[in-house]
Structure 1
Amino acid sequence: MATEVIVAPLYQGSEINTNNRLRLAIGPASKKALLSCTATNQMDPARTKLTTIETKRIISVLDETIRKVELVTLLSAAAYNPECLEGLWEDDILKAIRDHEDFCNTFLELDNLVKEEEEELAETGDERLKRLVEEHRHSLTLLQQEVKDSARNTLRIFLLNLQAGEILRTQVVGRSEEANIFLQALIEFRGFVFEKLLTSPMEEKEKTEFMEEITLREKKNNEMIQDLQSELSTTIKARDAEMEKETFVIQELKSHLHQVLKFSENHLLRTKQEAEKQQKAELRASQGRIAKIQQDILMLKTQYHNLTMENRDSEQALRKKKYKLETEIENWIQKYDTEMGEKQAEYEELDEIYTEEKAQLAELREKHAVLIQEFVQIREERLINSKKKLEAEKEMALMVRSATLIQAFWKGYLVRSLLKSKRKKKKGRGRKK
């Protein structure tokens, strides 16, 4: 059963090498270098930067994906090493990482259980076990969706808090080998897409023609290889014939060697008989040497007795010297115990001072944490007040503008009314006249 597991990184950057070099194994060394240079010039795109907004968006999407994979593959390492991040993150971030790691561990345990049950089901074929496996598979699917949701929620936290994401990338080390391979594959894919987006249709056509030319050259090379292989088979047949001749010569040499061995056995028998005669003569001579050696042994025993007596006297002197040294060593040990007792008392006094200072440090850390919470609360209140003040200023400006428009409209209305009344009066006077 395929399992999707979000694992834990080290991202090396988004620089992609767009030079793909193609080496052709034909011709002498100079021709190889020339073809390699030509292949590089043909395969490299003419442009080095993206010009259209669509291509830039594609590359930005891939960069964002790589950054998210960077963060996700470090979550497990951050969960297993919280001490390296102590005091750098807020509690909600640490809680989200722990919750995500709990989901992942539960998912892995359930997946291992399902694999074991499937193996047992393949051996036994029990119906109850089959239903249990199906239930566990369903639970595994739901848990897989929870792991994905947890990963998305955790990523949103880091994407909103850029400083926390930067801390995760710089302070946490522990991405697994599989995660590194996957991340490297993404980076290589990004480089491939980047090169594709830089390549124009004309360059793509030239590249295709170049590849066809290389294919044709490869076909010619294969034909040449086949000719060489046929020549090689002919050479091998000739060599086998020569080997048969050499084998015949070796057989003749073996028969000659057999005759030589027979001659050497006879010679060896004669040599052995002569050696036995010589051995008897040397045995008589050795018996005389043994009698002489026994006399030397008696003399050496007398010398040994005399040396033993001398060594006993020197041993007594050394024993006295040893006793004196043991007495001095005992005095040094007593002096060492006295000094170590004084050092131990001094150490205990320093340990008490250290314990007291450690308690003060813990108290100061608690106060520091309280002050941080108060600071965050005050900052949020100031932010809310500034937003309210800004909204009030906007509303006041709108009201002032509205009042100005109303006053201008009213003044215009009054002027028009006054002009109308004057016109009516003038018309009435004209009629009376």
Structure 2
Amino acid sequence: MALDILAVAPLYQGPDINKIRLMAETTKKSTTPPKPLTPSRTKLTTIETKRIMSVLDETIHKVELVTLLSNVASSSQSLEGMLGEDIMKAVREHVDLCQTLLDHVSYLQEEEQRLQEEEGFEDEPWFRDLVFSIELQKSRLPPLRQQIRESTKNVLRLLLRNPQAASLLQVQSLGRSEEAQSFIDSLVELRGFLFEKLLTSPMEARDKTQFIQDITRRNRRNQEIIDTLENELAACMRNRDAEVEKENFVVQELKNHLHQVLKFSENSLLRTKQEAEKQQKADFRASQARVAKIQQEILLLRSQFHNLVMENREAEQALRKVPWGSREAGCGPGRREGWHGCYYSPGSGWPGVGGGGRAQELEAGH
């Protein structure tokens, strides 16, 4: 729990070879394959390197045990019989000290926040008392932290004396916090890097440095080529966009012109249709007028014909009423007597007299 309030900085800031983007070099020259970066040795040979790795392994083991103390305190009833009374007592004392430290830190944070909110009352006595109280609480933190360190060392000594209890405690890894697990992972990563560093000879280190420099140089050169190609591509894209925009403008102009032509043709067709309908209506009215006039003329001619027929019938009736003797006396040379009166013979050259001659004249006239 004490480790939760400590900030751990990154342990190694060197370049990660696996994250370097390797790119094919565009060159016609044949390149030799890079040398392998793995060390030629697989085991440590010197005592100094073995001691270094032993110290680091022991540190990782102790950190794994310390980060599980808070979980032991929360489940003390289930682990009390397995870990032993002395270990559980030391763990409880350690947890109490950590909780006291956390309470002091929380109290200081609240008081400092209150102090920031009351910055306008520096001259007030209660403000000075508050500042003095905060300073007093801060002065109590270093001794408390020292007690936590001593308590941690005491718990570790008890656990290391009892390997079975330490192994049992390591099984409870699920109770470790995420921050503590991240810290342990960083230590394991540091161990791998340090182990590889200790296995690498000075000559291999120089080769590795040279390899990294070559890769970096190639990467920089390839990146320059990529930047050049990207600039050319951007220029081509701009030219293409300009041409497309120009063609789109021409197409839009053609569409507008076509729309105007269609609109003009529609208007012309509509106007022609209206004029044709108007002319058709005028012709229809004129034909109706001519038909009416012709019908009137027909009626007039029929009336005249009827009147002439009636006159002819009246004359014929009048001639029929003349006696036979007077009709014979009245007929001159070259005439013959008929039932309707006297008339010239066909060879005489004179028109007949009576209703029949009048009827023939009327029929010839019509």
TM-score by length of 2: 0.59
CA distance in 2, matches of 1:81, 1:257: 86
Taking the TM superposition and a 5 Å limit, the aligned residue runs for 1:272-287 are none
Provide the secondary structure at the position in 1 that maps to 2:36.
Answer: helix
Q: Which residue of 2 aligns with 1:132?
A: 133
Higher percent of residues as helix: 1
Counterpart AA for 1:248: F
Tell me the equivalent position of 2:23. Answer: 26
Shift of 1:21: 4.9
* CA shift for structure 1 position 80: 0.2
- Aligned to 1:113, which of 90, 99, 107? 107
Q: Which residue is equivalent to 1:151?
A: 152
CA distance in 2 between counterparts of 1:132 and 1:258 reads 87
CA shift, 1:90, in A, is 1.9
| Aligned pairs for 1:312-327 within 5 A | none
> 2:315 maps to which residue?
none
Tell me the residue number matched to 2:179: 178
Partner of 2:65: 71
In structure 2, which of residues 83, 94, 97 is the aligned counterpart of residue 89 of structure 1? 83
Q: Is the 8 A contact 1:85 1:171 kept in 2?
A: no
1:5 partner amino acid:
A
Structure 2 letter corresponding to 1:159: L
Contact 1:84 1:172 in 2 (8 A): no
Q: Give the CA deviation at 1:83.
A: 2.8
Could you tell me how far apart the structure 1 residues matched to 2:150 and 2:110 are? 27
The superposition leaves residues 208-264 of structure 1 with CA deviations (integer Å, 9 ceiling, x where unpaired) of 11112112211211220221122023113213313432552575588689989x99x
Shift of 1:79: 0.5
- Shift of the 255–181 alpha-carbon distance from structure 1 to 2, 3 Å rule, reads same
Across the aligned residues of Structure 1 and Structure 2, the Cα RMSD in angstroms comes to: 3.2
Aligned residue number for residue 323 of structure 2: none
**What amino acid maps onto 2:241 in structure 1?**
D
Partner of 1:241: 242
**Separation (CA, whole Å) in 2 of partners of 1:259 and 1:105:** 87
Q: 5+ unaligned residues in a row in structure 1: which ranges? A: 9-18, 29-33, 264-433
Which secondary structure does the structure 2 equivalent of 1:6 belong to? helix
- Alpha carbons 2:39, 2:196 under 8 Å: kept: yes
Q: Distance in 2 between matches of 1:85 and 1:53?
A: 39
Contact 1:45 1:199 in 2 (8 A): yes
> Could you say what secondary structure the match of 2:83 adopts?
coil
After alignment, is 239-248 or 100-109 more displaced? Answer: 239-248
Residue 2 of structure 2 is matched in structure 1 by 5
Write out per-residue CA displacement over residues 295-316 of structure 1, whole angstroms, 9 at most, x where no aligned residue.
xxxxxxxxxxxxxxxxxxxxxx
Moved beyond 4 Å, runs of 4+: 19-24, 249-260
Could you say which residue in structure 1 is the equivalent of 2:12? none
Q: What SS does the corresponding residue of 1:43 show, helix, strand or coil?
A: coil
Taking structure 1 as reference, are residues 171 and 216 closer, same or farther at Cα in structure 2, changes over 3 Å only? closer
Structure 1 residue 51: Cα displacement: 0.5
**1:38-69 per-position Cα deviation (integer Å, ceiling 9, x unaligned):** 56x53211100000101000000000000000
TM-fit CA distance, 1:116: 2.1
Structure 1 residues 128 and 253: CA distance shift in structure 2, 3 A? farther
| Structure 2 Cα separation of the partners of residues 140 and 92 of structure 1 | 27
Which deviations, in whole Å up to 9, do the C-alpha atoms of 1:142-197 show, x marking residues without a partner?
A: 22222111111111111122222112112564001111110010011011111111
Equivalent in the alignment of 1:270: none
SS in 1 for 2:101: helix
Measure, in 1, the Cα distance between the counterparts of 2:224 and 2:17.
Answer: 27
- Is the Cα contact below 8 Å between 1:42 and 1:206 reproduced in 2? no
Query: 2:13 — aligned with what?
Result: none
